[in-house]
Structures are given as structure tokens and as C-alpha cells.
Amino acid sequence: MRRPDAPPPFILKRLVPSAKKRLYALVSRGDFVLRRRSGAVFLLNPANFVDRQILFYDDFEQAQKQVFMEQIRKHDCDLFVDVGANLGYYSILLALAVPNLEIVVFEPDRRNRLQMGANMFMNGVADRITLLDKAVSDRSGTVSFVPAAATSTGQSKVAEGPGAVSIPAVALDDALPVSGRRIAVKMDIEGFEAVAVRGMRRLIAENQVVMQVECFEHNHAALDEQMRAMGMRLLRSIDEDRYYTSSVNW
């Protein structure tokens, strides 16, 4: 029985990881650590934001991940496209959970790709995932890319600005010349999603598609309108993630 003066369990759930984070800040030199999370092994950097959410709380996008995996299983998707994969959290979990799923990943930040490559190897799924070093845009060519600080590599983005470099980019219609497939797309590219989805018109028209798109709140209405014009309807939203499908029967 919990003592009357003891803090509620939900407070303890947050206090303990917070104390661990402070301890890591005192003793860590930026070293990576290995942890098993959600049935997979991940190489994590305690100095990086997304890694910390997985390392200390194991709650990174739990609701989003559950809804997306349910959609993938419900519609028997045979291709998963991860646009902005970061350390490979979604792709690796899906590779382990759905053995016959083809997985293609786009991650333009070299630091994230190297970390994801290690995670793929440790989980035995390196031969299941195609990892590409390109940004996704509305046309193939090059784009200006700003790498974020080492503490927030998930915020690297296609943009102009200090530290920008030119990197290769591809339209999904060019990268994935497929038809008649059941495709799940996760897109998390820091505000560039409206441009990127313009490069997948044929992919949506010729396949059945379900999407999870991270979109900042002030862009929700514009993205919804754009997706409707491309034959996609909004299923639901969770925080900044929006879920769309190309079929009225899905």
C-alpha cells in the first residue's frame, strides 16, 4: 500500500527519469549507450533530444506509433516509406514486427544515417531496409539543407540559412516507380512536408496509401487542403501528426 504522503505514481514515473537525465548531464561526455526499447536494441545519445525521450522515458511517440502500426496491419501494407527517419525508430520496429514489409528510408543527415545504420545492424535488419542519403522534395535535384546542432539532429531541415549545404534530393514519384502496392508513408521533415507531398502525386494515384505526417499546427489547414486535392482524406490527428488515406474503403 502506498503511504498517504507518498507522491502519486505518475509523478514518480517522471521524477526518476528526470533525475537520471541530470546525472547523465554531470558525468556523460556525450558517449552513446545501448538500451533495449519496445523489443529492439538502440544505440542512443543522451545528449540528443529524441534519444533522451527513448532512453529515459521510453515514450517517444507511443500513441502515434500504435495508431500507425494498427493502420499498417489493418491494410496489410507491403511497403513502408520512412521520410526523415532520424535514428530509425519506426523502421527498425516495423522491420521486426512485420517480417514481409519492404522498407525504404530517406535520411539526409549523415549523423542520423550512421546511427541508424548501427541500429539496423544490431537488430539484424540491415538487409531488410534500404537507407538512402537523400532529402525528399517535389522534384529531383538538389536542395539547401541546414544540419541542426548535435543535441537536436531531428531538427535538421531543408532550408536556407547559416551553415546550409547543398545535398541531393528526390521526388518520391521518381524514387518509387511502383503501382498497385499498399504503401505506408511516415513523413517527419520539419515543415517541408507540403513541398515533399507534391512530389508523390503519381504514387498516391496508382497505389493505396496511408500516411502519418508531422505538421506544425499553423500549417494544418493548408496541408489538409493539399491532401484532399490529391485524393487523400484525413483519418485523425495526434498532437502534430496527421493521418491520411487515399481510399474510402480503408
Q: pLDDT digit string (tens) for 164-216?
A: 999 999 999 999 999 999 999 999 999 999 999 999 999 999 999 999 999 99
Report residue 31's pLDDT band, with 50, 70 and 90 as the boundaries.
Answer: confident
Distance CA 183, CA 178 (A): 10
Structural domains of the chain in order of their starting residue, each with its CATH number: 61-245 (3.40.50.150)
Instruction: Give 54's DSSP letter.
Output: I
What's the average model confidence in pLDDT over 28-38? 84
Residue 15 has pLDDT above 80, yes or no: no
Give the model's pLDDT for residue 18.
Answer: 54
For the chain, the farthest-separated pair of C-alpha atoms sits apart, in whole angstroms, at 64
Distance CA 116, CA 23 (A): 26
Q: Which amino acid is at 49?
A: F
Give the model's pLDDT for residue 89.
Answer: 97
Q: Poorest-confidence range of 50-64, 102-116, 118-132, 206-220?
A: 50-64
What's the average model confidence in pLDDT over 100-128? 98
Instruction: Give 55's DSSP letter.
Output: I
Cβ-Cβ contacts under 8 Å for 94 (sequence gap 6 or more): 69, 72, 80, 101, 103
Residue 57 has pLDDT above 50, yes or no: yes
Give the model's pLDDT for residue 241.
Answer: 97
In the block, residue with C-alpha cell 500513441: 63
Give the model's pLDDT for residue 4.
Answer: 52
Residue 249 has pLDDT above 70, yes or no: no
Closest to 178 in 3D by CA, of 154, 203, 214: 203
Residue 163 has pLDDT above 70, yes or no: yes
Report residue 14's pLDDT band, with 50, 70 and 90 as the boundaries.
Answer: low
Task: Identify which has the larger pLDDT, 31 or 36.
Answer: 36
Residue 107 has pLDDT above 80, yes or no: yes
Share of the chain above pLDDT 90, in %: 84
Give the model's pLDDT for residue 24.
Answer: 53
Task: Identify which has the larger pLDDT, 241 or 249.
Answer: 241
Distance CA 44, CA 9 (A): 26
Q: Are 226 and 194 in contact (CB under 8 A)?
A: yes
Residue 190 C-alpha cell reads as 520539419
Residue 78 C-alpha cell reads as 507491403
